[in-house]
Structure 1
Amino acid sequence: MIVRIMGEGQVVLADSHVAELNKLDDILLAEMESGDGPGFRTTLHALLDKVRELGAPLPDDSLEPSELILPAPDATLEEVRSMLRDDGLIPG
């Protein structure tokens, strides 16, 4: 799966990591629903860090179709809310 982090670039991530990322996505969704700004910020950074850790970066000159687009680390709660699907940022 190719994942784009807005403002950073793309990484290739094995589908086997989606379940692990979904745990953080579920926490992020709950924090957004409760309006927990500090928790949201911490979990968003943890989610992006995990994608960077588990994924392999694509070269900057490579532009592949992204299967998943994640917000930039400095995205606001409102910006992330506008990106949400029914099941969070990460499907599944």
Structure 2
Amino acid sequence: MIARIMGEGQVEFDDAHLAELNTLDDQLLAAIESGDEEGFRRTLGALLDGVRRLGTPLPDDSLEPSGLILPSPDATLDEVRAMLHDDGLIPG
């Protein structure tokens, strides 16, 4: 699967890692729903770090279709709330 981290580029990772990333996504969604800014910031960082750690960056000139669009590390809670179209950022 290919994920785009807004402002950074694309990362390709194996679908086998979706369960781990979904756990972080669920935690992020809970922080957003409760308005927990500290939990949101911590969990967003962990989610983005997980994608970076588990994946391989694609070349900057590569424009592959992204299965996931993730917010930038400096996104606000309200910006990420607006990005959510369903139950989270990571498809279940």
* TM-score interval (norm. to shorter): over 0.9
CA distance in 1, matches of 2:69, 2:86: 15
Shift of the alpha carbon at 1:87? 1.6
1:33, distance to aligned residue in structure 2 (A)? 0.6
The alignment's TM-score, normalised by the length of structure 1, stands at 0.97
- What corresponds to 2:88 in structure 1? 88
Q: Which ranges of 4 or more aligned residues in structure 1 deviate by more than 4 Å?
A: none
Q: Which residue of 2 aligns with 1:67?
A: 67
Q: Which residue does the alignment assign to 1:21?
A: 21
- In structure 2, runs of 5+ residues without a counterpart are none
Question: Number of matched residues?
Answer: 92
Q: C-alpha distance in 2, partners of 1:77/1:40?
A: 7
The equivalent residue for 2:4 is: 4
Superposed CA deviations along residues 56-76 of structure 1, whole A, max 9, x for unmatched, are: 000011111111100000000
Hey, what does 1:30 align to over in structure 2? 30
TM-score norm. by structure 2 comes to: 0.97
Q: Tell me which amino acid in the other structure corresponds to 1:73.
A: P
Aligned to 1:20, what secondary structure does the other structure show?
helix
Cα shift at 1:85: 2.7
Give identity over the alignment, percent: 76
Q: Secondary structure at the match of 2:3?
A: strand
For structure 1, the residue ranges without an aligned partner over 5 or more in a row are none
Q: CA RMSD in A?
A: 0.6
